[in-house]
A and B are shown apart, each in its own frame.
Chain A
């Protein structure tokens, strides 16, 4: 009962902003000083608000990388989700992810890099200026949204781990927790955990971000809390959620989707209206909240920024 009541009260009502900020700086100081994990974890537990999304502080807008299209409403963004770990229906994630535990959280970094290790999420996120990036999201199923993500460039993070010259690809793995994620048990033809990958230059591209929030608040569980990948010129399947492992590899890896069906899902999965999905056209998309379908632009409208990475490649073969 006590816990339930506590959850009803907004954090802003119990903690003054200055206290909240000083607590933050305490945690930051603690992490900085490399204090024992136990102490850090206590701080982190305090930070995480299970069901309520906390507003994120010190976020700057990045108009350079943002679209000015109309935003998709938060209701749609938070109830219409493909998060197979929680089930195959769009509403499964918002209905079943409430008790998903996002703290404590660590990310294992391994493979072809000089700074492998297990990093606490706060340690990963802390050094960076949070940016709001309003990106188009195009699902391989033919619908799309416009989402104000909050995050920071993936490249800044990856550089810290000092990838070596063998690091040609980067893989991202979602947490495997069947006790909290019923879809990981029910969906037997999928090889869990969810694993996706990018070529190193795609990963280092300034448009590629790790997102920790949207609409000014912490990422909701159904949207991939606590941290997820966003690659706006690729189909949404290339943006794994709730990431626990980043690995630098030398060979192009299989991903969850190429393992499921290599004829239907290519490694690149770049948004491309010219290349049909084997079962449907990708020429048009339905923007959630808009009645008429609209044309899907090449690379989801990011061709100017990313097309050069694929010059000379046959995108019908490397789909």
Chain B
């Protein structure tokens, strides 16, 4: 694996953030900038969750471990964009109106599930270091399997938010489902049967 691959993935993952900065300085945030920033960061948090979840299927299908080394970074980028998303909501959207925020979290199911997804993401980010992996051992794996729940909640959050057109969240749900199905045993067995030397 070439040494510059990892920095390259890092830079690529920053592109959505760079786009946002570019839009800010070129006045392309539309007539409703706060909504635009909220959607942009939320979209990318969810995309990075799905990208992170595609590493294991990639390993199963290709039979190499080459992509696994980027998984932590991609997961942390999901957290990074989720942080921007939540910060945008707290600061730009609600402007620290904690009563309104609390009302939203309690009364609005789409915010309840979205906020839950974010809260669950925090311990995963904290325990993402190599040290923690070793220290937690088997429990680390259990803890980090929460990403499935988090991704499901994030998609539900999106689905409950849209007014009329549910195509995008449904497409993401489909991708999520495919990524889960690709983890089933028979995929691995099929690959072994097809490509293993007799």
**A residues in contact (CB < 8 Å) with B:** 75-76, 79-80, 84, 88, 90-91, 140-141, 143, 186-187, 189-190, 260, 276, 279-281, 283-284, 286, 288-289, 291-293
B164 touches A288 (CB 8 A): no
1/0 per position for B74-113, CB-CB distance to A under 8 A? Answer: 0000000000000000000111010010011001111000
Question: Contact between B103 and A281 (Cβ–Cβ < 8 Å)?
Answer: yes
Of A76, A79, A143, A281, the residue contacting B104 (CB under 8 A) is A281
Main secondary structure of the interface of A (DSSP, over half): loop
Would you give the shortest CB distance from A265 to chain B, in whole angstroms? 9
Query: Which residues from chain B contact A280 at a C-beta distance below 8 Å?
Result: 104, 108, 110
Report how far A312 CA is from B105 CA in the complex, Å. 33
A113: shortest Cβ distance to chain B, in Å?
32
* Given A189-B164, A189-B166: A279 touches B31 (CB 8 Å cut-off): no
- What are 9 inter-chain pairs, A to B, with CB distance below 8 A? A80-B32, A90-B32, A187-B165, A280-B104, A281-B103, A281-B104, A281-B107, A288-B31, A293-B93
Q: Contacts A79-B30, A276-B107, A281-B104 given: A143-B35 contact, CB under 8 Å?
A: yes
A286 to B97, CA, bound (A): 14
- Given A88-B164, A279-B108, A288 and B100 contact (CB-CB distance below 8 Å): no
Please report the number of residue pairs spanning A and B whose Cβ atoms sit closer than 8 angstroms.
55
Q: How far is the CA of A253 from the CA of B170 in the complex (A)?
A: 31
Instruction: Say whether, besides A76-B31, A90-B30, A292-B95, A279 and B103 are in contact (CB < 8 Å).
Output: no
Q: Given A189-B166, A292-B95, are A286 and B32 neighbors across the interface (CB < 8 Å)?
A: yes
Name which of B104, B161, B165 has the most chain A CB atoms within 10 A of its CB: B165
Please report the C-alpha to C-alpha distance between residue A245 and residue B164 in the assembled complex, in whole angstroms. Answer: 24
Taking the complex as formed, is B34 at the interface, i.e. its CB lies under 8 A from any CB of chain A? Answer: yes
Question: Which residues of A are found within 8 Å of B164, using beta-carbon distances?
Answer: 84, 88, 187, 189-190, 260
Q: Which residue of B lies closest to A289 (CB)?
A: B31
- Top 10 closest A-B pairs, CB basis? A80-B31, A76-B31, A88-B165, A288-B31, A279-B110, A280-B108, A143-B32, A279-B108, A190-B164, A288-B32
Supplied contacts A88-B164, A283-B100, 17 more A-B pairs, CB within 8 Å? A75-B31, A80-B32, A88-B165, A91-B30, A143-B35, A187-B164, A187-B165, A189-B166, A279-B108, A279-B161, A280-B104, A280-B110, A281-B100, A281-B103, A281-B108, A284-B100, A293-B95
Smallest Cβ distance from A32 to chain B, in angstroms? 42
Of listed B31, B93, B109, B161, residue having the most chain A CB within 10 A: B31
- The interface residues of chain A lying within 8 Å CB-to-CB of B104 are 280-281
A90/B31 in contact, CB under 8 A:
yes
Alpha-carbon separation in the docked complex, A281 to B111 (Å):
12
A79: which B residues are within 8 A, CB to CB?
A: 30-31
When distances are taken between beta carbons in the complex, the residues of chain A under 8 Å from B103 are: 281
Mark out the residues of chain B between 27 and 44 whose CB falls within 8 Å of any chain A CB in the assembled complex.
30-32, 34-35
Does B160 lie within 8 Å of A279, measured CB to CB?
yes
- Does any Cβ of A come within 8 Å of B141's Cβ? no
Residues of B within 8 A of A143 (CB): 32, 35
Q: CA A276 – CA B108 in complex, angstroms?
A: 10
Query: What is the distance, in angstroms, from A222's C-beta to the closest C-beta of chain B?
Result: 12
